[in-house]
Structure 1
């Protein structure tokens, strides 16, 4: 049975989530720290992964990033990759203090945007003993160039600059939808992004997810480059899960990035798109492989 938890970051922001004790384990257990991707909240299928891992002897700490979901932080909807990376490290520190956790056997799991975060955290924080990075963002600028038409870039950068000047003068940050059903501006401008988030909103009327992020979040997305950290992860064991038909975090970029990782490493390629990796047959294929990876290396 999961427990509600909260903990404070080093700079004093309260993050909230769930703790899943490891089932069938006597004594301190290996533990996975988990968070979601760009703007997403823990109810978007992280509970499915955590429940599966828990049933297979792995405790899980699942939480919402700052400024998102049930966690505190201002402005709400501001997605800062550096702050989220620090949040992972604070979550590891909190996990080390929990009853039932073996602080010497902590792994990290991330997907999409946080799939990039765990690559960075695993490279710089040696408390991490194993990592799974699912459909990760490995290069923000190249991914953004593929998502945004070339003739839109000049106007978008002008908007970034105007927002920065306005914030410096004390104005509230400009906001942009995460997804849009039509052709309007959005942070994740793909039909499958709309389908994923809209389906969650319709099936979870009490959701804490909000269809808005700061425009600055998009600028930070385009500046974010986890790729150079990948060769520094080893000898920490790395598993990367790639969706073959992914065009949000393009599969060819992820596969090329995987080749730069040192051993021990493992690659799982799923025959699906980005969001299919969370559910159905792809979850049934991927979750056991991920649990086995953590179990073997923790």
Structure 2
């Protein structure tokens, strides 16, 4: 499906991405705004979702998060969750100015870290008329403690404190690998399936992905709790899609969060683990999201 390169201003930072126009219509159509999760760039399967949605009459705006991929932003390789949330809102504003977009029918899609972002955006931005959140980060605090071994927590805290002191002295932010072949080595996502997905997907689809993230990004993740917002999404319809056996964003956190959400809501359990949503579970994840948008947009 052909798409257009786009860029927009996010209060001084240029965000770049793609616009997939809705197929089969010359009228104003609903639009889905989507960005990727923890350090991932748009080439890492987001075009496949966009193609599914646009083939069924939905415009799609896909972009790289600030500091990653084709977007501007400094420090590079840094994830500030609240800056990324504001950028979703900037993207909605930009999308609403485009020909062929019905600004009254805007949906948002997020996965993993951005799956948490769309829960927050859906709660605070009433321009959003449908939310889809898959394999979501529900609580940064809980997720961090689920990913990092208990006996490593103090070491990471020392890393946070040292980096903060160094930045105060004017030094560059420290970084750590996103993934490592050995789960015992320091990494932001220390799981075997994270190493496999990021290295294979970047090699095959996204050579501009970098195996690097700032230490400050991990500290900010521990402060970030999208679950605090999930009860406020209603009356906007929300679809939550945890994976059956997710060890990166543990399934149980999403199941508990779903109980706190209010109607209209739906939960669909995806097959496999965290990254299977982009591979063997792609048909399940994309078709469930499409049905949600067709119903509510």
2:228 is aligned with 1:215? no
Could you say which residue in structure 2 is the equivalent of 1:73? 73
Partners of 1:98 and 1:208 in 2: CA distance? 28
Could you say which residue in structure 1 is the equivalent of 2:9? 8
Query: Structure 2 unaligned runs (5+)?
Result: none
- Superposition TM-score, scaled by structure 1 size: 0.97
For residues 69-103 of structure 1, give each alpha carbon's deviation from its aligned partner in whole angstroms, at most 9, with x where no partner exists.
Answer: 11000111011101000000000000000111001
For residues 102-158 of structure 1, give each alpha carbon's deviation from its aligned partner in whole angstroms, at most 9, with x where no partner exists.
Answer: 011000000000000000000000000001001100011111111111111112111
For residues 195-241 of structure 1, give each alpha carbon's deviation from its aligned partner in whole angstroms, at most 9, with x where no partner exists.
Answer: 0001023214x622110010000111111100010000000000011
2:29 is aligned with 1:29? yes
2:112 is aligned with 1:112? yes
For residues 258-288 of structure 1, give each alpha carbon's deviation from its aligned partner in whole angstroms, at most 9, with x where no partner exists.
Answer: 11111111110012100001123x1112212
Could you say what the CA RMSD is over the residues aligned between the two structures, in angstroms? Answer: 0.9
- Secondary structure (helix, strand or coil) at the match of 2:269 reads strand
Could you say which residue in structure 1 is the equivalent of 2:186? 185
**Runs of 4 or more above 2 Å deviation:** none
Partners of 1:286 and 1:38 in 2: CA distance? 18
- Superposition TM-score, scaled by structure 2 size: 0.98
Question: Mapping of 1:1-298 within 5 angstroms?
Answer: 1-10=2-11, 12-182=12-182, 183-204=184-205, 207-280=207-280, 282-298=281-297
Partners of 2:207 and 2:14 in 1: CA distance? 19
- Secondary structure (helix, strand or coil) at the match of 2:267 reads strand
In 1, are the aligned partners of 2:44 and 2:202 still within 8 Å (CA)?
no
Partners of 2:71 and 2:168 in 1: CA distance? 26
- Secondary structure (helix, strand or coil) at the match of 1:199 reads helix
Partners of 1:279 and 1:201 in 2: CA distance? 14
Partners of 1:82 and 1:286 in 2: CA distance? 26
CA displacement at 1:190 relative to structure 2: 0.3
- Secondary structure (helix, strand or coil) at the match of 1:154 reads helix
- Secondary structure (helix, strand or coil) at the match of 1:87 reads helix
Partners of 1:238 and 1:199 in 2: CA distance? 31
Partners of 2:203 and 2:30 in 1: CA distance? 35
Partners of 2:108 and 2:73 in 1: CA distance? 22
Partners of 1:223 and 1:291 in 2: CA distance? 32
- Secondary structure (helix, strand or coil) at the match of 2:154 reads helix
User: Quick check: 286-295 or 41-50, which moved more?
Assistant: 286-295
Query: Structure 1 unaligned runs (5+)?
Result: none
